[in-house]
Amino acid sequence: MNQELNLFVRESLGKNQSRASIREALLSAGWQESEIAKALHSFAEVDFPLPVPRKKPYLAAREAFLYLVSFITLYISAVSFGVLLFSFIDIWFPDVLHPAFGREVSTNAIASLIVAFPIFILVTRRLRQAASQDPERKESLVRKWLTYLTLVVAAAVLIGDLIAILASLLSGEITVRFLLKALTVLGVAGAIFGFYLTSLQKEEKETVP
C-alpha cells in the first residue's frame, strides 16, 4: 500500500474525519477507488480515540507459490510450443541427408501444452483479479523479480537467435529449415519479451502522477 496514502487516512481518522469525507477528498485528488477502499479497510471501524489498524494476513508465501507456478508453466508452454513447431517444420521440410529423421509430431510437446498452458492461463487470471482488487499486490517483489528474469532470458534468446541467423547468412549456409526454426524461436521469445515489457511500462505509467 502507498505509505503516503496510508498516513493520510490514519491522520484523518485520528482527527475524527468521516470515512465518506476522506474518500471524497482522495477521489478529488486523483486516487483510485480501489486504492482508497484498501487504505480505509486497513483500519478497523471500532470506537476508539485512535485509528486501529487491522491485522493483515501473511500472503507472501502463497503469492510466491502462485507466481512461481505461473512463470514455470509459461516456460514449459513456450518451450513445448517451439518444439511442436519444430516437429512440423521437420515434417514439411525433411532433412535430405536424414529423410527418416523428425517425421513424427512430438507427443511430449503436445502433452506439455495440454497440461501447462491451461494452468498458466488460470493462475495468471487469478493473480490479475487479485491485483485489480488489491493494487498493493502489484508491488510484489517476487513477481517483479520473476518478470525481470523472464525479460533477461527472453532477451538472451533473441540476441543469440539473431546472431545465429546473421552468422548463417554471412557463411552462406542458411537453409529453409534453419530459417524457419530461427524465426520460430524469434517469434516465441519476442512475444514473451514484448508482453512483459509492455506490462511493466504500463504499470510505470500508472504509478506516475
Grid coordinates standing for 202? 504500463
- pLDDT at residue number 44: 86
Residue 94 contacts by C-beta under 8 Å, 6 or more apart in sequence? 101, 102, 103
Is 158 found in the same domain as 180? Answer: yes
Report whether pLDDT(37) > 50: yes
CA dist., res. 165 & res. 159, Å (int): 10
**Span 34-43, mean pLDDT?**
84
What residues make up the domain containing 121? 60-207
Amino acid present at 48: F
Report the sign of the C-alpha dihedral through residues 152, 176, 178, 86, in that order.
Answer: positive
Is 169 found in the same domain as 91? Answer: yes
Is 201 found in the same domain as 163? Answer: yes
Is 42 found in the same domain as 139? Answer: no
Is 129 found in the same domain as 45? Answer: no
Neighbours of 182 (CB within 10 A): 16
pTM exceeds 0.85, yes or no: no
- 3-class secondary-structure state, position 91: helix
- Of the given ranges (59-68, 74-83, 161-170), which has the lowest mean pLDDT? 59-68
Residues 49-65 have pLDDT tens digits of 888 887 665 556 778 88
Nearest residue to 109 (alpha-carbon basis) of 74, 85, 91, 90: 85
Neighbours of 121 (CB within 10 A): 13
Report whether pLDDT(118) > 90: yes
Residues 77-108 have pLDDT tens digits of 999 999 999 888 888 877 666 555 555 677 89
Residue 203 contacts by C-beta under 8 Å, 6 or more apart in sequence? 138
Is 111 found in the same domain as 129? Answer: yes
Is 101 found in the same domain as 26? Answer: no
Number of domains in the chain: 2
Question: Residue 95 in contact with residue 66, Cβ under 8 Å?
Answer: no
- pLDDT at residue number 136: 62
Is 118 found in the same domain as 162? Answer: yes
- pLDDT at residue number 101: 54
Is 78 found in the same domain as 135? Answer: yes
If you ran DSSP here, which 8-state letter would residue 55 be given? P
- pLDDT at residue number 209: 47
Is 19 found in the same domain as 71? Answer: no
Average pLDDT, the chain: 83
Q: How many CA atoms lie within 13 A of 98 on its CB side?
A: 4
CA distances from 101 to 30, 31, 95, 96, 176 (A): 62, 61, 7, 10, 16
Given the C-alpha cell 500500500, which residue does it identify?
1
Is 49 found in the same domain as 137? Answer: no
Is 86 found in the same domain as 180? Answer: yes
